[in-house]
Amino acid sequence: MLLWLTLALLWSTTCWAERKSGWASPLQPIHLVATLPSLHPGDPGSGPCPGQTNSSLRTPGCHHVVYFLSLTCFFHHLEIHGDGGGQKFSTSPDNYDDITGIRVSTGGWGVIKSIQLRYGSSWRERFGPKGGKMEEFLLQPGEQILMVTGWHTLYLRKLVIYTNRGRMASFGKEEGKKFLEVCSWEWKVLTGIFGTYKRYGITGIGFRWGYPRVDLTTVQNNTHWYPEK
Kindly report which listed range (1-5, 82-86, 151-155) carries the lowest average pLDDT score: 1-5
Res 27: pLDDT: 35
- Residue 43 neighbours by CB distance under 10 Å: 12
Boundaries of every domain in the chain: 2-18+27-75, 79-221
Determine contact, residues 201/113, Cβ cutoff 8 Å: yes
Query: Can you tell me the mean pLDDT for 150-156?
Result: 98
Sheet of strand 75-82, all strands in order from the earlier edge strand to the far edge = 23-29, 75-82, 202-210, 189-197, 87-90
Res 222: pLDDT: 52
pLDDT of 103-123, one tens digit each? 999 998 899 999 999 999 999
Checking if the pLDDT of 97 tops 50, the result is yes
Total residues found in the chain within this entry: 229
Res 38: pLDDT: 33
Query: Can you tell me the mean pLDDT for 83-94?
Result: 94
Task: Give the whole-angstrom CA distance, residue 22 versus residue 195.
Answer: 12
Grade residue 39 by pLDDT with cuts at 50, 70 and 90: very low
pLDDT of 155-200, one tens digit each? 999 999 999 999 999 999 999 999 999 987 778 999 999 999 999 9
Sheet of strand 145-152, all strands in order from the earlier edge strand to the far edge = 168-172, 156-163, 145-152, 177-182
What percent of the chain clears pLDDT 70, i.e. is strictly above it? 60
Rounded to the nearest 10 degrees, the angle between the axes of helix 62-73 and helix 2-10 is 50
Give the pairing type, strands 122-123 and 23-29. unpaired
Res 218: pLDDT: 52
The structure's pTM equals 0.65
- Domain made up of 79-221: CATH architecture: Aligned Prism (2.100)
- Residue 205 neighbours by CB distance under 10 Å: 28
Nearest one of 139, 153, 219 to 186, comparing CA atoms: 219
Average pLDDT taken over every residue of the chain: 73
- Look at 24 and 112; give whichever has higher pLDDT: 112
pLDDT of 41-64, one tens digit each? 333 333 333 333 333 333 334 333
Query: Can you tell me the mean pLDDT for 204-228?
Result: 69
